[in-house]
Amino acid sequence: MKPETRIRRFFDNITFSDGCCEWLGRTNDDGYGTFRIGPATAVKQQLVHRFAWEIFNGPIPESMCVLHNCDNRVCVKPTHLFLGTRDVNNKDRMEKGRSATGERNGQCRLSDQALRNILASTERGVALARKYEVTQDTICRIRNGRYPREVTNG
């Protein structure tokens, strides 16, 4: 497909909403817009915000991410996009509260309330480990402040 055809197809899938230019086409499982590029024999999926960056700003330097100022995963508005390293991207996500930490993490085994209960409990570690289906070492780390996440107040 010719580059100008690809660009026209890209712009045909955009609408304006709340100050953003939103992608109306496909999205991936994480909610980011995707765009099919390449010959029919080797079609690749590209993230549309990266495609938009390249249209308006040129190639993306190696190891750089394209981030959103607006935090709208389907936004392709050039002024809402900026470059950053993976570390900058991770820091931006953490500062904006979009990381899957604590109970939002799919691998979380203990709720914040369970952590508070463990800290307040006078029960022995063995009993608590059975009750919450974790190891005694986990109970010990929670009680000694070495658990990998903080307990939120609630």
What span, in angstroms and rounded, lies between the C-alpha atoms of 106 and 34?
A: 24
Instruction: Considering only residues 43 and 100, tell me which one the structure prediction assigns the higher pLDDT.
Output: 43
Q: List all residues 6 or more positions away from 27 whose beta carbon is below 8 Å from its beta carbon.
A: 33, 34, 73, 74
Tens-digit pLDDT profile for residues 50-79: 999 999 999 999 999 999 999 899 999 999
pLDDT level of residue 12 (50, 70, 90 thresholds): very high
**CA distance linking residue 118 with residue 135, whole number of Å:** 13
Is the CB of residue 118 less than 8 Å from the CB of residue 142?
yes
pLDDT (tens digit per residue) in 101-148: 556 555 667 877 888 899 999 999 899 999 988 889 888 888 888 876
Q: For CA atoms 48, 54, 57, 63, give the dihedral sign.
A: positive
Which pLDDT score is estimated for 145? 82
Domain boundaries, the chain: 3-99, 103-143
Question: Which CATH number applies to 3-99?
Answer: 3.90.75.20
